[in-house]
Amino acid sequence: MIKTILGFPALLLFATASQAAWEVNLPRGVTEVSREIYDLHMTIFWICVAIGVVVFGVMLWSVIYHRKSRGAKAHNFHENVLVEIAWTVVPFIILIAMAVPATATLIKMYDNTEAELDIQITGYQWKWRYQYLGEEIDFFSSLSTPRDQINNAAVKGEHYLLEVDNPLVIPAGKKVRFLLTANDVIHSWWVPDLAVKKDAIPGFINEAWTIVNEPGVYRGQCAELCGKDHGFMPIVVEVKAQADFDAWLAEVKQADQDKAAEAQKSWTLAELMETGEEVYNKACLACHQANGEGIPGVFPGLKNSPIALGDPGPHIDVVLNGKQGTAMQAFRDQLTAVELAAVITYERNAWGNKVGDLVTPAQIAELKE
């Protein structure tokens, strides 16, 4: 407690110091579309400013000069057909002038044809899944900011809440098409620098696209309220030059094979418990909580629960296949056989649960076939 109180002002200082600039405007972004959008934004902004100056100017003039304390006498005009027609027609013309370029940009944004790479993006509570169509690459991406930073027990890093374990990697200069859907509730995939924001909706596939010429790292967040950890599902896009991208592809495929091989080696309870805790903290803690007690009425506790203490069969089943129509997802494709075996073993032997048995990676690998 004392520590938190003392640490707080220090964190405040840090927060202010690490803050780059007082950002007040939309980013121009790094794509042709994002720049067009920025220009539209500035145009409509200046139109509003101009109208505001005229309207508020006249108002201020009246407030200053037509006040009773200055002896102003009220005139008694109260309509003027010509003036009224003018201030109906003029705004109308301004709006048409604005609608024309907006329409052109929108048509461009809707041109989803001729993509060179298709990536399916699926929103989950509270992580993103990226599947590269035709490449056999399929992984999940979730927040990597440590809990301690969120709970003010550690100093916040530069990319606090905008960092993930596995970023989405795309090649520079290529038209990449995103196919968006969701597994549970509605999410929205948004990266401001690419000016891509599209809702990921269960049962629908939405399309969006981008061409980024600059290699770099671009960050965004889920934009649609999707439950408890909506504020904690960032997006990181890494744009790599084609050669680097190809190298990355090969690396990921190799890593997948290594993981598959790991399942066949034999694991001790201690090893599984160690890995299991890591997996639990990453994939399950958000709902079932660190102490395994869940949130009453929303997420069930696993501590002392019949399922964690009983026969392993139903326990494995619920973790692999989830529970239709609840927040409990199927983890079959989200985790490797080792991770699944470890987390299940962990749940059966943590927080005072003492089943003592061990669910082996090989056993899960077989079920996953």
Partner 1 sequence: MNTSVAVSHHHGPASGISRWLFTTNHKDIGTLYLWFSFLMFLTGGCMALLIRAELFQPGLQLIQPDFFNQMTTMHGLIMVFGAVMPAFVGLANWMIPLMVGAPDMALPRMNNWSFWILPFAFAMMISTLFMDGGAPNFGWTFYAPLSTTYAPPSVTFFIFAVHMMGISSIMGAINIIATILNLRAPGMTMMKLPLFVWTWLITAFLLIAVMPVLAGVVTMMLMDIHFGTSFFDAAGGGDPVLFQHVFWFFGHPEVYIMILPAFGIVSEIIPTFARKKLFGYASMVYATASIAVLSFVVWAHHMFTVGLPLAGELFFMFATMLIAVPTGVKVFNWVATMFRGSMTFETPMLFALAFVVLFTIGGFSGLMLAIAPVDFQYHDTYFVVAHFHYVLVPGAVFAIMAGAYYWLPKWCGNYYNETMGKVHFWCNFIGVNITFFPMHFIGLAGMPRRIPDYALQFADFNAIATVGAFIFGFSQLIFLYNVISCIRNSKPASDRVWEGSHGLEWTVASPAPYHSFSEPPQVK
By C-beta, is 235 or 286 nearer to ligand HEC? 286
Select from 150, 155, 147, 152 the least CA-distant residue to 5.
152
Q: How many residues line the site for Cu ion (CB under 5 A)?
A: 4
Peptide bond into 46 cis (omega under 30): no
Least distance to partner 1, CB of residue 200, Å = 10
By C-beta, is 233 or 343 nearer to ligand HEC? 343
**Cα distance between residue 13 and residue 30, in whole Å:** 32
Residues 123-162 that bind ligand HEC (CB under 6 A): 125
291 binds ligand HEC (CB under 6 A): no
Scanning 200-208, 253-261, 265-273, 277-285 for contacts with partner 1 by CB under 8 A, the matching segment is 200-208
Select from 329, 328, 326, 320 the least CA-distant residue to 368.
320
113 binds partner 1 (CB under 8 A): no
Give the C-alpha distances (Å, rounded to integers) separating 267 from 128, 208, 282, 309, 341: 30, 44, 21, 21, 10
Site string for Cu ion, 216-255 (x = CB under 5 A): ------x---x---x-------------------------
Among 236, 319, 341, 350, contact with ligand HEC (rule: CB under 6 A): 319
Among 7, 101, 157, 300, contact with ligand HEC (rule: CB under 6 A): 300
Q: How many residues line the site for partner 1 (CB under 8 A)?
A: 107
Scanning 147-155, 238-246, 277-285, 335-343 for contacts with partner 1 by CB under 8 A, the matching segment is 147-155
State the binding partner of 93 from ligand HEC, Cu ion, partner 1, none, CB within 5 to 8 A by kind: none
168: helix, strand or coil: strand
318 binds ligand HEC (CB under 6 A): yes
One-letter identity of residue 133: L
Q: Which contacts qualify for 342-345: CB closer than 8 Å, 24 or more apart? A: 342/267, 342/272, 342/273, 342/274, 342/275, 342/276, 342/278, 342/279, 343/276, 343/279, 343/280, 343/283, 343/284, 343/319, 344/276, 344/312, 344/315, 344/316, 344/319, 345/269, 345/272, 345/273, 345/276
State the binding partner of 67 from ligand HEC, partner 1, Cu ion, none, CB within 5 to 8 A by kind: partner 1
197 binds Cu ion (CB under 5 A): no
175 close to 116: Cβ distance less than 8 angstroms:
yes
Place of tokens 């408890």: 228
332 binds partner 1 (CB under 8 A): no
Among 159, 259, 303, 332, contact with partner 1 (rule: CB under 8 A): 159
DSSP β-ladder status, 176-182 and 117-124: parallel
Binding residues for ligand HEC, rule: CB under 6 A, are 125, 283-284, 286-288, 299-300, 302, 305, 307, 315, 318-319, 323, 326-328, 331, 343, 347
